[in-house]
Amino acid sequence: MKKQKKIVFASSTPMNYIMFKPIADRMLADERVDVWFTAKHSPGKLYGAVGVKNVKLIRHELAELKKFDMCICPGYFFKPKRTAVKVEMFHSVSIDNYSVSPKVSRFDKLFVIGPYLYDKFISTGTLPENDSRLEKIGMPKVDCLVDGSLDASAIRKEFDLDNDRPTVLYAPTRSVVSGTSLEHAGKEIIKTVSAMDVNFIIKLHDRNYRMWRKKNPMDWRHKLDEIKTPNMRIVTGYDICPAFLVSDLLISDVSSVTYEFCLLDRPVIFYHIDQMIELVEHKERDRWGNEVSDLLAWGRDCGQVVKNVAELKAAVEHGLAYPEAKSDIRKEFANKFFYNPGQATAAAVEKIYELLELDPLPWLGSKARPNKISRK
C-alpha cells in the first residue's frame, strides 16, 4: 500500500466541525488518507462535544508545525507552517463579509461557497479576477437540505413536534460586541412567539453559550431552561439543518442562516437591531469606502424586516398564511449565495483528490455518506 496522504481538519468551535463534517466523513472512509483533527483551544473538549471519538487529535500549536499534505479550515485562525496544500473553505455566507479578508492570501485553495462571495473577493480588490486559487465548490453542510438524505418525519418525532401546528425557528447570530437580537430583544422575542399557536424551535449559535464564549453576559442555556414553555423546543445540537428542514418560517437577524434557509424557499424574518446594522455599515465604510452595505441595499429583500415584537408577531402570522410571498426572491438569493446545492460535498472531495493526486472512489458522486467516525 502506498504511503497515506495526511490531512488535518481545523476547528475553532463546533460550528466549524459541522461545516467540514461531510468532507471529513468521506476522507475517513478512504484508507488512503490519514485524517487528523485539531481545534483552536481544546481538541478533546470540542470534538467530544459533537460526539466524535476514536479519531486522531492534535493540539493546535503542534498541528501548525506538523507536516501535512493538506489542511482544511473554515476560518483564518489556523496558520500551518509545514502543510503542502492549505485549503480555506469558509464558515458562512453572512453578508457582513468577515470572510472577505487579506488573510485569505495565506491559503493555496479557496473553496468558495457561492457567486456572491466570489464576486465580493474580486470587486473589493481582495483577489484578482480569475485567481487560480478560487474554486466554485458550495457549502457541504447544507447539501442535506436538498439531497433527500434527511428524514423530516423522523426529525419531527425526535423534536416531539405537534404535526397540527406550524413550526417557527428562531436562530440568531453569534454574540458580538454590539449585541444581537438575542441580547437586545431575545426574551421579548421568545415570549411573543412562544405565546402563539406554533411549535417554537430555538437554535442558538454555539458562541451564544458560555461554554464556547466565556465573556457572554447572559448564561443562555440556563435562561432558556427558565423560560421554556410546552410548545418550545431548544435544540442543543450544533447542526442547524435538521431544524431548518422541519421549520415553516425562520426568525434571525444578521446571519448566514437567513440565506441558507432560502434553499428551502420558506419565509424569513429579519429582526432589526440598530447597533448590529451600524456595526456592519461602519465596517463597510472603513474597509472599502462604501456608504451603504449590501445588507442595507438589498441583503434583506428575501424576507420581512421587523423592529419590535408587535411587528414580529404580525410578520409571523403573515408568513405562515402566505408562504409563497417573496418566493422568487428567495430562489434568486439561493442561486446568488450557493454553488452546487446538494452536490457541494462531491465537488469538494473531487477537488481534494485532484490536489492530493488520488483517484476518486466509486461513491464520490453518491448521496450516501460513508462514515467511519465513532459517535456516542
pLDDT (tens digit per residue) in 157-195: 999 999 999 999 999 987 665 678 988 899 999 999 999
Mean predicted confidence (pLDDT) in 99-122: 97
Are residue 284 and residue 188 in the same domain, yes or no? Answer: yes
Are residue 198 and residue 317 in the same domain, yes or no? Answer: yes
pLDDT value at residue 372? 37
CA 300 – CA 371 distance, rounded (Å)? 37
Q: Give me the sign of the Cα torsion angle 367, 352, 95, 19.
A: positive
- H runs (alpha helix) in the chain: 14-28, 43-49, 60-63, 115-123, 152-159, 181-194, 220-227, 241-245, 257-260, 274-288, 294, 309-321, 327-337, 344-356
List Cβ neighbours of 203 (8 Å cut-off, separation of 6 or more). 169, 170, 171, 235, 240, 243
Among residues 353, 221, 244, 229, the alpha carbon closest in space to that of 18 is found at 244
- Return mean pLDDT, the chain: 92
Dihedral over alpha carbons 79, 81, 87, 90 (to 10 degrees)? 0
- Whether the pLDDT of residue 371 is over 50: the answer is no
Are residue 257 and residue 165 in the same domain, yes or no? Answer: yes
Range of the domain at 352: 5-139+339-375
Predicted confidence (pLDDT) per residue in 2-33, tens digit: 899 999 999 998 999 999 999 999 999 999 99
Q: In this predicted model, which residue has the larger pLDDT, 217 or 330?
A: 330
pLDDT value at residue 341? 98
- Whether the pLDDT of residue 349 is over 70: the answer is yes
Q: Which DSSP string corresponds to 119-161?
A: HHHHHTTSS-TT-TTEEE---GGGGGGTSS-S-HHHHHHHHT-
pLDDT value at residue 291? 84
Are residue 161 and residue 212 in the same domain, yes or no? Answer: yes
> How many distinct structural domains can be found in the chain?
2
Q: Are strands 56-59 and 52-53 parallel, antiparallel or unpaired?
A: unpaired
Are residue 277 and residue 348 in the same domain, yes or no? Answer: no
Are residue 317 and residue 170 in the same domain, yes or no? Answer: yes
Q: Which CATH number belongs to the domain containing residue 279 in this structure?
A: 3.40.50.12580
Mean predicted confidence (pLDDT) in 365-371: 43
Mean predicted confidence (pLDDT) in 90-109: 93
- Whether the pLDDT of residue 63 is over 90: the answer is yes
Are residue 223 and residue 344 in the same domain, yes or no? Answer: no
Under a CB-based contact definition with an 8 Å cutoff, are residues 10 and 38 in contact?
yes
- Whether the pLDDT of residue 136 is over 80: the answer is yes
Q: How buried is 97 (Cβ within 10 angstroms: 0-12 exposed, 13-18 middle, 19+ buried)?
A: buried
- Whether the pLDDT of residue 373 is over 70: the answer is no
Are residue 217 and residue 85 in the same domain, yes or no? Answer: no
pLDDT value at residue 177? 59
Q: Which CATH number belongs to the domain containing residue 108 in this structure?
A: 3.40.50.2000
Are residue 281 and residue 366 in the same domain, yes or no? Answer: no
- Whether the pLDDT of residue 344 is over 50: the answer is yes
Are residue 114 and residue 220 in the same domain, yes or no? Answer: no
CA 86 – CA 68 distance, rounded (Å)? 9
pLDDT value at residue 173? 86
Are residue 368 and residue 221 in the same domain, yes or no? Answer: no
Are residue 167 and residue 206 in the same domain, yes or no? Answer: yes
CA angle 169, 175, 180 (to 5 degrees): 65
Inter-axis angle of helices 220-227 and 181-194, nearest 10: 20
- Percent of the chain beyond pLDDT 70? 92
List Cβ neighbours of 167 (8 Å cut-off, separation of 6 or more). 161, 198, 199, 200, 201, 246, 247, 248, 249
- Whether the pLDDT of residue 368 is over 50: the answer is no
Predicted confidence (pLDDT) per residue in 205-258, tens digit: 876 765 656 666 667 777 888 889 999 999 988 999 999 999 999 999 999 999
List Cβ neighbours of 342 (8 Å cut-off, separation of 6 or more). 143, 145, 146, 147
- Percent of the chain beyond pLDDT 90? 77
